[in-house]
Amino acid sequence: MALRVGVVGGGQLARMMIAPAVEVGVELRVLAEDEGMSAALAATAVGDYRDAETVLAFARDVDVVTFDHEHVPQEVLAALVAAGVAVHPGPSALGVAQDKIVMRTRLAELGMPQPDWAAVTGPSDLQTFLDAHGGRAVVKTPRGGYDGKGVRIVSAATEADDWFAALAEDARGGALLVEELVDFSRELAQQVARRPSGEVRVYPVVETIQRDGVCAEVIAPAPHASERLHEVAAQIGVAIAEGLGVTGMLAVELFETTDERLLVNELAMRPHNSGHWTQDGAVTSQFEQHLRAVLDLPLGDASSSAPWAVMVNILGGPAVGSLDARFAAAMSEHPTAKVHTYGKAPRPGRKVGHVNVSGADLDDVAYQARAAASFFDG
Ligand code: ADP
C-alpha cells in the first residue's frame, strides 16, 4: 500500500507537493482551511488546524503529518505526538520557527551568527536598544508575521507604540523583537533537507531579491559566490538542521553583509519560496525532497541540474480579467519558461504563481524568466 502523507494547510506549498507525490507513488492528503484552496486537487478535508480533534481525526488515516505553514498551535502538535502520530518537523523544532524571539534565543545557544537583538517589553527598553545601535533598528512582532508584515524600521521608540499596546491586550503577554538594522549587500537563502534518521542534503546557496518585503526573484546559485561563501552557508544550514532536530526541508534566510559576513535572518521548516527554482533547476525538487524526508526515505541529490536557474514570482495586480489568456501568451512567447500556477484568485500583491527558467547563460535565463513573468504585470 502507498505511504500516506498528510499536509496541514491547503496553500500553494501543499499544492506543489501533489505532482511529486504522484510521481513517487505517495498518497497525499490535505487538511485545508477552506473549500477550493490551492491544494484542493489532492484528497482534501476541510477543517480548523487550531482544533486538536479535527487534526487528530485527519491524522488517523496517514503515516506522517507535515505542514504547509508554521501556525499549528503547540497544544495541537502535542496532542498528535501523544496519540502516537509521526509529526515532521516535530513540535520542538517547529516551535523555533513559530516565534522569532525563541528563534533568536536558540540560534544564540547554537552559536549561529545573527544580528544584535533584544526582546523588549516597552518603549524604554526599545529606546535603550536604539541608543546603543545608532538610533535606528528593526522591530518585529515575534509571531504570525509573513512577507514583511510585522517588520518595521524605527528611529524612535514611539514608532512601535501600537504594537506594544497590542501586546498589553494579548493574554499571552510577551515582548517584541528588536534587531540591529543590518547593512547587507544582499539576501541569500540556504536550504537543507534532513530526515529523522539523520541523513542531510544541502542545496546550493541562492540569492533572493525582495520588493516591498515580498520575495520577487531568486537566482540559483547566488552569483559571484565564492567557494568559501557556499561552505559557510552550508555549514550554517546543517548546524541549524541538526542543532534543532529539523526534519523535512529547512530554509535559512541570510544577510550577506558589506564586510562579507553571513547573518541568519529567519528560518522556515517546510518548502520555501526561495526553493521553487528546484522544480526545474535541481536534480530533486524541494517538494519531492520534503516528502522523502518526512517519510524517512533516502534523500535525492540536491545539486543543480543546470548552471543557472532563475525564479520570478507572479503577484496578482489590479488588472481585471482571467489569468488564463496571460498564461497562454507567456508560454507561447517563452517556451523555455516553466509557468507554475497556484489556482488562486489574483488579488493585488498576492502570490498567484511563479516562472522558472534554467540554462547555461545567466543573462538569457534571467531575461526569459522576467519577460515571461511580465505578462502578468498590471
Ligand atoms: P517576514 O517574516 O515577514 O518574512 P523578515 O524577518 O524575513 O520578515 O523580514 C522581512 C525583510 O525585512 C527581510 O527580507 C529584510 O529585507 C528586511 N529585514 C528584516 N530584518 C532586518 C534587519 N535586522 N536589518 C535589515 N533589514 C531587515
pLDDT at 320 over 60: no
pLDDT at 170: 75
Residue whose C-alpha is closest to residue 191's, from 170, 206, 174: 206
pLDDT at 260: 85
CB-based contacts of 7: which residues, under 8 Å, 6+ apart? 14, 17, 28, 29, 30, 31, 39, 42, 65, 66, 67, 68
pLDDT at 374 over 60: yes
- In terms of domains, do 300 and 251 share one? yes
**Mutation choice for ligand 1 from 265, 269, 313, CB with most ligand atoms inside 8 A:** 265
User: Does residue 316 lie within any of the structural domains?
Assistant: yes
Tens of pLDDT along 25-43?
999 999 999 999 999 989 8
pLDDT at 212: 87
Residue whose C-alpha is closest to residue 264's, from 113, 108, 111, 93: 113
Q: Are strands 64-67 and 200-202 parallel, antiparallel or unpaired?
A: unpaired
pLDDT at 44 over 80: yes
Query: Which of 145, 180, 215 is where one domain is finished?
Result: 180
Give residue 260's domain range: 184-374
**32: CATH:** 3.40.50.20
- In terms of domains, do 355 and 236 share one? yes
- In terms of domains, do 134 and 149 share one? yes
Confidence of residue 319 (pLDDT cuts 50, 70, 90): low
Query: Quick check: CB of 40 below 6 Å from ligand 1?
Result: no
pLDDT at 378: 67
Tens of pLDDT along 216-249?
999 999 999 999 999 999 999 999 999 999 999 9
- In terms of domains, do 239 and 197 share one? yes
Ligand 1 centroid – CA 10 distance (Å): 25
* Summary mean pLDDT of the chain: 95
- In terms of domains, do 124 and 32 share one? no
User: Does residue 93 lie within any of the structural domains?
Assistant: no
**Mutation choice for ligand 1 from 117, 130, 140, 151, CB with most ligand atoms inside 8 A:** 151
Of all residues in the chain, the percent with pLDDT exceeding 70 is 97
Ligand 1 centroid – CA 214 distance (Å): 10
User: Does residue 96 lie within any of the structural domains?
Assistant: no
- In terms of domains, do 210 and 289 share one? yes
Q: What's the rounded Cα separation, in Å, for the pair 258 and 256?
A: 7
Residue whose C-alpha is closest to residue 366's, from 219, 265, 252, 225: 219
Q: What's the rounded Cα separation, in Å, for the pair 89 and 250?
A: 9
- In terms of domains, do 20 and 120 share one? no
User: Does residue 31 lie within any of the structural domains?
Assistant: yes
pLDDT at 349: 85
Mean pLDDT, to the nearest integer, of 57-66? 97
pLDDT at 1: 73
Per DSSP, the three-state class of 75 is helix
HSE-CB for 102 with a 13 A CA cutoff:
12
Tens of pLDDT along 134-174?
999 999 999 877 777 899 999 999 999 999 998 888 767 78
Interior angle at CA 40, CA 34 and CA 41, nearest 5: 175
pLDDT at 326: 84
Tens of pLDDT along 244-253?
999 999 999 9
Cell numbers at 160, concatenated: 512601535
Point out the ligand 1 atom lying closest to the alpha carbon of residue 148: 3
User: Does residue 81 lie within any of the structural domains?
Assistant: yes
Alpha-helical segments (H) within the chain? 12-24, 52-59, 74-82, 91-98, 100-109, 123-132, 161-169, 227-244, 278-281, 286-294, 324-333, 362-373
- In terms of domains, do 256 and 211 share one? yes
Is 293 within 8 Å of 249 (Cβ atoms)? yes
Mean pLDDT, to the nearest integer, of 285-311? 98
Is 152 within 8 Å of 164 (Cβ atoms)? no
- In terms of domains, do 253 and 265 share one? yes
Ligand 1 centroid – CA 221 distance (Å): 21
- In terms of domains, do 218 and 345 share one? yes
User: Does residue 68 lie within any of the structural domains?
Assistant: yes
User: Does residue 105 lie within any of the structural domains?
Assistant: no
Instruction: Indicate yes or no: pTM above 0.85.
Output: yes
**297: CATH:** 3.30.470.20
Mean pLDDT, to the nearest integer, of 175-180? 97
Query: Mind giving me the DSSP string for 311-375?
Result: EEEEE--S--S-SHHHHHHHHHH-TT-EEEE------TT-EEEEEEEEES-HHHHHHHHHHHHGG
Number of neighbouring beta carbons within 10 Å of residue 42: 19
- In terms of domains, do 292 and 232 share one? yes
If one counts the domains in the chain, the total is: 3
User: Does residue 101 lie within any of the structural domains?
Assistant: no
Residue whose C-alpha is closest to residue 365's, from 277, 259, 237: 277
Q: What's the rounded Cα separation, in Å, for the pair 44 and 192?
A: 28
Mean pLDDT, to the nearest integer, of 127-139? 97
Of all residues in the chain, the percent with pLDDT exceeding 90 is 85
